[in-house]
Amino acid sequence: MKDYIKWIRSKVGHETIILNFSGACITNERGEILLQKRSDKEELWGFPGGALEIGESIEEAMIREVKEETGLDVNVEYLIGVYSKYFSKYPNGDSAQSIVYFFKCNVASGDLVIDNKETFDLRFFDKNNIPKLFIQQHTDMLNDYLQDRKGVFK
pLDDT of residue 92: 92
CA proximity to 12, closest of 75, 94, 71, 78: 94
pLDDT of residue 1: 66
pLDDT of residue 44: 87
Q: Is the pLDDT of residue 31 over 70?
A: yes
What tens digit of pLDDT does each residue of 46-85 get? 999 999 999 999 999 999 999 999 999 999 999 999 999 9
What tens digit of pLDDT does each residue of 84-125 get? 999 999 889 999 999 999 999 999 999 999 987 778 899 999
Distance between CA 94 and CA 15 in Å, rounded? 7
Distance between CA 144 and CA 139 in Å, rounded? 9
Q: Residue 80 belongs to what H/E stretch?
A: strand 72-89
pTM of the model: 0.93
Q: Cα 101 to chain center, whole Å?
A: 9
Amino acid at 56: E
Q: What is the CATH number of domain 4-153?
A: 3.90.79.10
Distance between CA 14 and CA 129 in Å, rounded? 37
Range with the lowest mean pLDDT among 2-16, 33-47, 80-94? 33-47
For residues 46 and 137, the answer to whether their CB atoms sit within 8 Å is no
Within 8 A by CB and 6+ apart from 84, the residues are 97, 99, 100, 153, 154
